[in-house]
Amino acid sequence: MLWALQPSFYEHSVSVALPKNVRYTLNGSTPSKNSPLGGGEVLIAHTTVIRYAEFDEAGKRTTPVTGATYFINEPDSRLLTLSIGIDPWRLFDETNGWFRPGHGADPGHWKQPGANWWTKREHPAHLDLIEPDAAARSVHQGESVFSGTTGFRMFGGMSRLHPQKSFSISAREKYGRKRIKHKLFGKDGGKSFKFLVARNSGSDWNRSYIRDVLLTDLLEDESWDLDYQAGRPVQVYINGKYWGIYHLREKINARFLADRYPEVSKEELDLMEHEQTVKQGNGGDYRKLRNFVASKDLAVAANYDHLGEWIDIDNFQRLQIAQTYFDNRDAGGNIRYWKPRLPGARWRWILYDVDQGFGLHQEEGYKRNTLKFYTEANGPAWPNPPWSTLFQRKLLANPAYRRYFVNRTLDYLQTDFAPVVVSAAIERRVAGLEYDMPRQLERWGGKEKNWRQHLDRLRSFGQQRPVHLREHLRDYFSAGEDREVRITATPGGYVELNKNIRIDEGRYEGAYFQNFPLHLRAAAHNGFQFVGWEGTEITAAAFDLPLQNDAPISLKAVFEPADHPLADQVIFNEICPSNKASGDWIELYNRTEETVDLTGWRLTDRKHEMCLPAASLGPKDYLVICQDVERFNKAHPTAHNTIGGLNFGIDKGGETLSLYGPQGRYVNAVTFEVVAPDVAYVQALALPDLDNTDPRHWALQNGDGTPCAANPKDLETSVVSPKSYWLRIGIGVGVLLLVGLARGMSAKRAEGI
């Protein structure tokens, strides 16, 4: 017998002991004063959603509705499970149910206007989220990561016509939970969510089921600088009944943007879609923008530059590159754009709903000339009306925009859109669904043959699209012949190509057009400097490379280590990665007899970088860099030289910290790896004149440390005997590693590796 409502999967029937004085239901409906009374055991013999609450003598509910889903002898799945418990009448009543057309639908019109599923209303529903095999146990398996009441709404456009309908879920305080706190989309996704969508694959329903998530998968590289929804496949149950495979997605709204941009308030932004539909804020500024674009010649540099103050041109261009490659046929429908109401803010575009691409309706869709489609001045009301192609048409009149549009498209055709890359992405998505797909097809009458035909269509598109799109570009822009280019970079830096992609130590080979020069820029990692190019007489770090000559081009950017004159003289002396009172902090020490100006120096960890504000460090003195000066000074009132602004936390389990002077020249670096105690502690250098790259010269000290003062004298004993040193640190604390070859690692540090 279970004494707690633990949502999970069970092989056999289970008995659940409900609390006393509750009324409960077993069909997903909201309990009422007339529901059965709890206080005993309830046998669960098949998959069931239990919901219960307490009521007073007058029949008024006195507690929130609580619930749980028990899955009994269900088929195995490799997907996250999403279970909904909702009043059955709300979805299935023939007159008012949202999953039914109802009496107001017009059956003679293909859109069925007036059908119940076009509602915008919300209804409370119980939600369980269970990760697969995350915590297998003797009696059940699967880890419940959320269980509570949320809001349920219908979702989507024409996809509402499918029998398997999309819906959204909303965490709201009035239901008891403000957020769904779980890393639903992996370690690089968000930590919590207020709004989510269970999407039925939209136009791709009963076809490949993966188009939308597959295509957004291809834009993961940071060079894209596009906002798009994270996604993962889930299996859905509604009131204990299997409802099929969906894709769980983030919901695009003001909260979606505020979660991504901490400086942006969801109340202080304009979010729009389609032609000029306002979703949040107002559209006055956008209307002025559109009038400007329509009335001005953007081939004129002054007009183009002014537009660049109004919109993020690179962001818009990369959206167009992606949509053109995808051959997304819904150019006139799926357009969303936004701008925060902040000084200097610009309009940006959001990529979403691209399932009309990759040959959805045409077996050889990879042959389509989407470039002409997206620049059609007199397209029909759908799919490419004139307003939807206006910005791209006008921008392509500008030589700089045109050049980067062509070159960046070629960049991606040879990297993120290369056939081998796309093929791997397709197979990853197919593998993620293949085990569960038979049950989905059976549930909704799909055919495996049709599913696999659409998968093959995706594969063909990925293989063939680059060849055809390349020729569309060549023809549309009179781009000339191909030119072969090879670019490499020695360790210590990278080459930025077309202000777009980064080329590190591996060799990059690509074919570009003779009439469009490339832009190259050599950039040194922290701790290195650019020396020059091999393969050209050009000495500048950044330059335009003409391609008129038909000879193959091979260039190498050469870098070498670069030390600051004060290398290993301004050093890390004390590191505090764990202190609730003061927050994290770092102490530097100046070994020299001169005051050092640290303004503009850079402090980095494995993933972050901080530019130091105005600061100086006297001879033989200390400087503390902390997260919050007021908080730190309250904990350490005697510390005499502190600055705030530390914009990252120090990982108490291990960290790499580096210090660089002007031009990224190496000053000092330290790496430590510790199985840290769950108490306040510091890493301290035993004596400030010791080599802080030697692990024997550091010790772990419990307590608050000695910021802006000498480390304790007794630390000297830690360097006398390796034996006493290791005993001092203690078994289980781990190993402290100081990196002496910091310059050799700085390339990786700069990339966040």
> Alpha-carbon distance 37 to 423, whole Å?
56
Residue 753 has pLDDT above 70, yes or no: no
Per the domain annotation, does 496 fall within a domain?
A: yes
Per the domain annotation, does 221 fall within a domain?
A: no
Q: Which of 81, 31, 36 is nearest to 60 (CA)?
A: 31
- What number is the average pLDDT over the span 738-751? 39
Looking at the fold, whether 436 and 499 belong to one and the same domain comes out as no
Per the CB < 8 A criterion, the answer to whether 695 and 672 are in contact is: no
The pLDDT of residue 188: 85
In this structure, of 227-236, 296-305, 353-362, 650-659, the range with the lowest mean pLDDT score is: 650-659
Q: How confident is the model at residue 677 (pLDDT cuts 50, 70, 90)?
A: low
Residue 733 has pLDDT above 50, yes or no: no
Looking at the fold, whether 331 and 377 belong to one and the same domain comes out as yes
Domain limits at 380? 259-477
Looking at the fold, whether 444 and 543 belong to one and the same domain comes out as no
Domain boundary among 184, 200, 216: 200
Looking at the fold, whether 472 and 486 belong to one and the same domain comes out as no
Q: At what angle do helices 448-477 and 419-434 cross, to 10 degrees?
A: 160
Residue 723 has pLDDT above 60, yes or no: no
> Alpha-carbon distance 377 to 392, whole Å?
10
Looking at the fold, whether 452 and 541 belong to one and the same domain comes out as no
DSSP 607-635: S-EEE--S-EE-TT-EEEEES-HHHHHHH
Provide the percentage of residues in the chain whose pLDDT is more than 70: 92
Per the domain annotation, does 243 fall within a domain?
A: no
Beta strands in 239-283 (DSSP E): 241-250, 269-273, 277-280
> Which pTM was predicted?
0.89
The pLDDT of residue 638: 94
Per the domain annotation, does 1 fall within a domain?
A: no
Domain count of the fold of the chain: 4
Q: How confident is the model at residue 533 (pLDDT cuts 50, 70, 90)?
A: very high
Q: Which residue has the tokens 């095999």?
A: 133
Q: How confident is the model at residue 382 (pLDDT cuts 50, 70, 90)?
A: confident
For residue 139, what are its two tokens?
């009696």
Beta strands in 392-507 (DSSP E): 482-489, 493-497, 501-503
Per the CB < 8 A criterion, the answer to whether 85 and 28 are in contact is: yes
The pLDDT of residue 671: 87
Looking at the fold, whether 388 and 272 belong to one and the same domain comes out as yes
Looking at the fold, whether 528 and 646 belong to one and the same domain comes out as no
Residue 39 has pLDDT above 90, yes or no: no
734 against 555, higher pLDDT: 555
Looking at the fold, whether 326 and 356 belong to one and the same domain comes out as yes
> Alpha-carbon distance 265 to 203, whole Å?
33
**CATH label of the domain that carries residue 741:** 2.60.40
Per the domain annotation, does 533 fall within a domain?
A: yes
> Alpha-carbon distance 563 to 559, whole Å?
13
Looking at the fold, whether 489 and 449 belong to one and the same domain comes out as no
> Alpha-carbon distance 213 to 220, whole Å?
12
In this structure, of 210-219, 313-322, 667-676, the range with the lowest mean pLDDT score is: 667-676
**Buried-exposed string 528-546: b where 16+ CB fall within 10 A, e elsewhere:** bbbbebeeeeeeebebebe
Q: Helix, strand, or coil here: 6?
A: coil
Per the domain annotation, does 119 fall within a domain?
A: yes
Residue 731 has pLDDT above 50, yes or no: no
For 91-120, how does the pLDDT look when each residue is reduced to its tens digit (9 = 90+)? 999 999 999 999 999 988 988 999 999 999
Q: How confident is the model at residue 749 (pLDDT cuts 50, 70, 90)?
A: very low
Domain boundary among 536, 561, 586: 561
Per the CB < 8 A criterion, the answer to whether 399 and 299 are in contact is: yes
The pLDDT of residue 741: 39
Residue 200: which region, alpha, beta or left (left: phi > 0; alpha: psi -120 to 50)?
alpha
Cβ within 8 Å of residue 55, ≥6 positions away? 23, 32, 33, 61, 62
Strands 277-280 and 269-273: antiparallel
Mean pLDDT of the chain: 91
Residue 218: which region, alpha, beta or left (left: phi > 0; alpha: psi -120 to 50)?
alpha
Per the domain annotation, does 355 fall within a domain?
A: yes
Domain boundary among 444, 477, 510: 477
Looking at the fold, whether 533 and 625 belong to one and the same domain comes out as no
Looking at the fold, whether 402 and 496 belong to one and the same domain comes out as no
Give rounded-to-5 percent helix, strand, coil for the chain.
Answer: 25, 30, 45
Looking at the fold, whether 49 and 187 belong to one and the same domain comes out as yes
For 411-444, how does the pLDDT look when each residue is reduced to its tens digit (9 = 90+)? 999 999 999 999 999 999 999 999 999 999 999 9
Query: H or E stretch including 318?
Result: helix 313-326
For 327-375, how does the pLDDT look when each residue is reduced to its tens digit (9 = 90+)? 999 877 789 999 999 999 999 999 999 999 999 999 999 999 999 999 9
Residue 137 has pLDDT above 60, yes or no: no
Residue 262 has pLDDT above 80, yes or no: yes
* Residue 261 φ/ψ, nearest 5 degrees: -125, 95
Per the domain annotation, does 188 fall within a domain?
A: yes
224 against 652, higher pLDDT: 224
- What number is the average pLDDT over the span 200-211? 96
Residue 727 has pLDDT above 60, yes or no: no
